[in-house]
Structure 1
Amino acid sequence: MKKKFIIDTDPGIDDAMAIFVALKSPEVNVIGLTTIFGNVYTTLATRNALHLLEVAGRTDIPVAEGSHVTITKGTKLGIADFAHGADGLGNQNYPPPNGKPIEQSAAAFLVEQASKYPGEVTLVALGPLTNVALAIQLDPAFSKNIGKIVILGGAFAVNGNANPAAEANISGDPDAADIVFTSGADILTVGINVTHQVFLTDADREKLAASNGKLAQYLCKIVDVYYCYHYDAYNTKGIYLHDPTAMIAAIDPSVITWTEGVVRVQRTGIMRGLALLYNNQKRFAEVTEWSDKPSVKVAVTVDAPKVVKMVMDRLMSS
């Protein structure tokens, strides 16, 4: 049976790549997209999600619009338009999509689908975790009903990409992230300690451009802004495959190895957004906010060549 996926997303150039990879993966049945702020504001994320489904010829997939504010009603959002363009898709200024989001909120849609298919749905969370935390608050059974949550988030034992302490998705709503990580759901989080090992080179890009893949051609059009950002920020010629790596890990967990432990998120101060793993190797006598919290899986290594090949093959076969 195909795996049922819901993709919680803030498209975003690498989100677009991850969505296309999922849509072209024979192992996966994408049953919905939910949208969240991050690379762009939520309204534009919804527009981009609908547009990407039209490009892929999959307008049968519902899109549920997510929260416009953080879990604590914060409106000061860290939007990454400097990396993805003002429109989130490389400043191509595509016309508005014909489709509309469904009436349900993202959180309500997540709760409904998890309840409808208990244990069967994989939620791939590619942006800040506000919608997921709202679903947990909306339905106490959500954490058990959802089959698995694969998160792109954290910067375990390396510097962040939003600031030296924090990775962008966790930094986008640290309070929500802490709710999700301590919810008891079956969670695998793929941090930038892993995704920074997965790199799409200029040669890979040229191979995509030379292919007959419709979605590969589309991505080659939008990716210039993202390449420029990487060159300016990291002095590299190529791009990190953050979202596609998390997506491939959801499709084929054999591409990564992981450790397990409690993850908590710093919610205040200069370290706000820092996700920290407690590896359970020391038993602490005192009762603290780490005590009796459920463990999650944290990716530690990745088969980078295999991930790049899987991404390339799916895009070029489109």
Structure 2
Amino acid sequence: MGEAPARKKIIIDTDPGIDDALAIFVALNSPEIEVVGLTTIYGNVYTTLATRNALHLLEVAERSDIPVAEGSHVTITNGNKLRIADFVHGADGLGNQNFPTPRGSKVDQSAADFLIHLANLYPGEITVVALGPLTNLALAIQLDPEFPRKIGQIVILGGAFSVNGNVNPAAEANIFGDPDAADIVFTSGSDILAVGINVTHQVVLTDEDLNQLAHSKAKFAQYVCKILGVYFSYHHEAYSMQGVYLHDPTALLAAVDPSLLTYTEGVVRVQTSGITRGLTLFDNCKKKYGELNEWLHKPKVKVAVTVAAPAVVRLVMDRLMQE
């Protein structure tokens, strides 16, 4: 018998958020990975509430040993007019359940400092799964120019590659939350894998799946059934669909098992102004352009193009129903 392969160390950068809660629970029930920390960011809710929700979810999971570091309250350019998606996730970010205040507290380090600290502690071994705007990662890159080389991989839930956005036709929510930060991260030279809504919109948890979760005795299944109502209603109204998109769990599972998706490689830039602010544009690097441009000599990243959707849904269901 050989030794079991070492578990992949993962930090989840998160703005919980209903599908963030699903992703965190799936992560905690994934034997392939070890969640070494959560960092928080605005997006579905403001950062302060994201921290509270992260602590609450770890308490529900009986994993208060996992540190939570609070992230930025403003964008990388100090913008404080933040887009908060409470109409998708409820005012409390977790389906308006008004859970009690968590007992745990955040660590003293900021999210950016925590990310740098762990990248130094375990060089090349940390995967960051970024489920919200990319401000914390951009700050880490600005604070430590070596960070892109020390971090193992960054899996980004973000972008809309060759499809319309979900905030407006041009932009996907996480990138739109801080386009300047996203452009810094995409061009940083880190090992990056972007999972956009062109892929996550293929991964749907149906009414039938919800019914199956409702019949499970497992703690996580019971909890997510409580919070999913608001999320299902939103999808019904916005997309006329009987189900919800599994954005965050898909990105998390891409970090757990990259073979669930297929990828293409090229350069990604983010539009930071005008009516297409937040647009992610992919250059397949096949053409040599005559003129100098803003794309030349930028590092390539991986962008997901297909997903084994039934396998992803099955894994999410199995891990939520694990007793």
Same topology, TM > 0.5: yes
Which of 67, 70, 74 is matched with 2:75 structurally?
Answer: 70
In structure 2, give the amino acid aligned to 1:119: G
Q: How many residues align?
A: 318
Give the CA deviation at 1:287: 1.4
Paired with 2:292 and 2:311, the residues of 1 have a C-alpha distance of: 43
Asked if 1:176 corresponds to 2:181, the answer is: yes
Asked if 1:127 corresponds to 2:125, the answer is: no
Pairing of 1:91-110 with structure 2 (within 5 A)? 91-110=96-115
Name 1:295's counterpart in structure 2.
Answer: 300
Give the CA RMSD over aligned residues.
0.5
Q: TM-score, normalised by structure 1?
A: 1.00
Paired with 2:10 and 2:189, the residues of 1 have a C-alpha distance of: 19
Paired with 2:142 and 2:218, the residues of 1 have a C-alpha distance of: 41
Pairing of 1:152-301 with structure 2 (within 5 A)? 152-301=157-306
Name 1:53's counterpart in structure 2.
Answer: 58
Give the CA deviation at 1:58: 0.2
Output one character per residue of 1:153-193: Cα deviation in whole Å (capped at 9) or x when no partner: 00000000011100000000000000000000000000000
SS of equivalent residue, structure 2 residue 213: helix
Give the CA deviation at 1:244: 0.4
Identity %: 72
Output one character per residue of 1:191-218: Cα deviation in whole Å (capped at 9) or x when no partner: 0000000000011011111111100110
Asked if 1:22 corresponds to 2:56, the answer is: no
In structure 2, give the amino acid aligned to 1:251: V
Give the CA deviation at 1:281: 1.4
| Structure 1 gap ranges (5+) | none
Give the CA deviation at 1:111: 0.2
SS of equivalent residue, structure 1 residue 127: coil
Paired with 1:173 and 1:121, the residues of 2 have a C-alpha distance of: 23
Give the CA deviation at 1:137: 0.4
Give the CA deviation at 1:285: 2.0
Paired with 2:149 and 2:315, the residues of 1 have a C-alpha distance of: 30
| Structure 2 gap ranges (5+) | 1-5
In structure 2, give the amino acid aligned to 1:24: N
SS of equivalent residue, structure 2 residue 288: coil
SS of equivalent residue, structure 1 residue 104: coil
Give the CA deviation at 1:286: 1.4
In structure 2, give the amino acid aligned to 1:137: Q
Paired with 1:231 and 1:190, the residues of 2 have a C-alpha distance of: 23
Output one character per residue of 1:212-247: Cα deviation in whole Å (capped at 9) or x when no partner: 110011000000000000001000010000000000
Name 2:3's counterpart in structure 1.
Answer: none
Asked if 1:145 corresponds to 2:145, the answer is: no
Paired with 2:266 and 2:218, the residues of 1 have a C-alpha distance of: 41
Which of 96, 113, 117 is matched with 2:118 structurally?
Answer: 113
Give the CA deviation at 1:311: 0.5
SS of equivalent residue, structure 1 residue 208: helix
Paired with 1:216 and 1:286, the residues of 2 have a C-alpha distance of: 55
Output one character per residue of 1:68-108: Cα deviation in whole Å (capped at 9) or x when no partner: 00000000101000000000000000011001100000000
